[in-house]
Amino acid sequence: MKRVYIIAEAGVNHNGNIDIAKRLVDVAKEAGADVVKFQTFRADSLASKYAQKAEYQFHTTDEKETQKEMLKKLELTYDMHVELIRYCKQAGIEFLSTPFDLDSIDLLESVGMNLYKIPSGEITNLPYLRKIGCLKKPVILSSGMSTLEEVEEAVKILKESGAADVSVLHCNTQYPTPMEDVNLNAIKSMQEAVGVRVGYSDHTEGIEASIAAVAIGAEIIEKHFTLDKTMEGPDHKASLEPHELKAMVKAVRNIETAMGDGEKRPTSSEKDNIAIVRKSIVAKRRIEKGEIFSEDNITTKRPGNGISPMLWDRVMGTEAKRKYEEDELIEL
């Protein structure tokens, strides 16, 4: 199978601190991810003062603050974007960020973004989708909270607006996602219905879902990670720690190798086992020349470098052309 594109989602786990953001870049690189992704937004453009936080955010942030107040502390400035892009180039890992509003698309375009990742919440935002599509660049679209029809419509809008290439990520936006709500089989449904490259944005607590997603055909994996799950902030608790991210990347790489090409055949690593493990037709006891082969005097035993037992009927009833000692390979 094709190499899986692994997005290490730093998201807002930098807590608005450039030094923490750089450490996240280092962790993603060390883990073997293809890209480290952040989130670009302006709280004033993203949420009104009346916007409520998600239920899980009440448990991971100050319950008294509004969504807008929470987001304000997690913004990345233009200069921070420039610095992070430079740092990623030095580290040898691709930089990516998700724009959450129209102004943030402009910001990312101004710093030379070559690929756009659309969050689940914007899949029904027509002006946003058109603006991304008009940039004529590749797009990865998350599909949390969406029906198949909404996914198809969003992909259609992006393509009609000029998007160079569109991929879709199956996703559930609950942090963490209960296993009973993961629904990995939706990956196959979208592959068949939408006809684009499909991946999985994983918000479960472990790494099993990401690994399983690759096994059923996901070509992109996105997973949140953090330096420490106990840090203050909305997403740390549902993110992987560095050692877990590294384990996930290793497992994904192993699975993409293990998937193979689909042709059923003996592999190079097991060919030498054929003669050792399979059986041949051999003498069950001493056989004199001229005896007729029967179940009384022949049987099957290892090794498998003689006549195959699949030729049993052909051997039965024929005449021994020489004398055989017990366990000798029968010849025709």
pLDDT at 71: 79
More confident residue, 79 or 233: 79
Whether residues 311 and 207 share a domain: the answer is no
Measured from the Cβ of residue 291, the count of other Cβ atoms closer than 10 Å reads 16
Average pLDDT, the chain: 94
pLDDT at 220: 98
Domain closes at, from 207, 235, 258: 258
Question: Using 50, 70 and 90 to split pLDDT, how confident is the model at 60?
Answer: low
Whether residues 91 and 34 share a domain: the answer is yes
pLDDT at 310: 98
Q: What is the pLDDT of residues 247-285, one digit of tens each?
A: 999 999 999 999 999 999 999 999 999 999 999 999 999
| pLDDT higher than threshold 60 for residue 59 | no
Whether residues 317 and 215 share a domain: the answer is no
Residue with tokens 């993203």: 46
Whether residues 36 and 121 share a domain: the answer is yes
Whether residues 95 and 189 share a domain: the answer is yes
Whether residues 137 and 230 share a domain: the answer is yes
Domain closes at, from 203, 227, 258: 258
Q: Which residues contact 268 (CB under 8 A, 6 or more apart)?
A: none
pLDDT at 28: 98
Whether residues 302 and 188 share a domain: the answer is no
Whether residues 42 and 11 share a domain: the answer is yes
Whether residues 243 and 272 share a domain: the answer is no
Q: What is the pLDDT of residues 41-50, one digit of tens each?
A: 987 877 777 7
Whether residues 206 and 85 share a domain: the answer is yes
Whether residues 226 and 305 share a domain: the answer is no
| pLDDT higher than threshold 60 for residue 324 | yes
CATH of the domain at 134: 3.20.20.70
Question: Using 50, 70 and 90 to split pLDDT, how confident is the model at 52?
Answer: confident
Buried/exposed code over 82-105 (b: 16+ C-beta within 10 A; e: otherwise): eebbebbeebebbbbbbbbbeebb
Quote the pTM value. 0.88
Averaged over 112-135, what is the pLDDT? 98
Whether residues 205 and 298 share a domain: the answer is no
CATH of the domain at 297: 3.90.1210.10
Separation CA 261–CA 136 (nearest Å): 33
Instruction: Please give the tally of structural domains in the chain.
Output: 2
| pLDDT higher than threshold 70 for residue 54 | no
Measured from the Cβ of residue 153, the count of other Cβ atoms closer than 10 Å reads 16
Averaged over 167-172, what is the pLDDT? 98
Domain closes at, from 235, 258, 281: 258
Percent of the chain exceeding pLDDT 90 equals 87
pLDDT at 163: 98
Range of the domain at 308: 266-332
| pLDDT higher than threshold 90 for residue 118 | yes
| pLDDT higher than threshold 70 for residue 293 | yes
Averaged over 79-83, what is the pLDDT? 98
